[in-house]
Amino acid sequence: MARSPRNIPDDDTVADMYLNAVEYLESNGFHQYEISNFCLTGRESRHNLKYWHCGEYLGYGPGAHSYYKDSRYSYIRDLYGYIDAMKSGNDSIIDGDPELIRPKERVGEYLMLGLRLREGINENHFRRHYSRELAPIVKALEPYIAEGYVRVEEGSYSLTPKGFLISNRIISDVLDAAREK
């Protein structure tokens, strides 16, 4: 019989612990650049940011993932199968079929991933890259802005540390608003 964990803090205590950790890290020179990442200025993970910014990236090696020319794919995980496929020069190195990311899906990914970043989502970027207005999304964010869960700065909308605590709900509402267009 599995033992149940003891003394697990309740949600409010966990939220307080998280907000205290954010305050402590920021007061010691670390900044939060993503929902679960902190670093010293200039030490952000470039690989992670490439992913969070919906940029293209190429992975190499068994099990590596890539996103290139609107397709997402991964390589087979088996080391020896990977080596054999590389030697033979055939396409069996790719695990399954590449996933084509359609424009509507790219919009959703930008919104979801962007709201995980401290910098958030930007109106001009959204209009330029997706040929859409952010107005329906902003309308969905208004109650969260009023409650201090979302900050607005120079056309960008980002979650506050308090907002990161309810990010799943906020992102869900934003994605619903994007689908209604």
Global confidence as pTM: 0.84
- In the chain, ranges of CATH 1.10.10.920 domains: 37-44+103-179
Residue 89 CB burial class (10 angstroms; 0-12, 13-18, ≥19): exposed
How far apart CA 37 and CA 23 sit, in angstroms, is 14
CA 123, CA 101: separation in Å to the nearest integer? Answer: 22
- pLDDT of 119-138, one tens digit each? 999 999 999 999 999 999 99
In tens, the pLDDT along 59-101 reads 999 999 999 999 999 999 999 999 998 898 877 888 889 999 9
State how far the Cα of 30 lies from the Cα of 63, in Å rounded to an integer: 32
Selected from 2.40.50.140, 3.40.640.10, 1.10.10.920, 3.30.70.260, the CATH number assigned to the domain covering 37-44+103-179 reads: 1.10.10.920
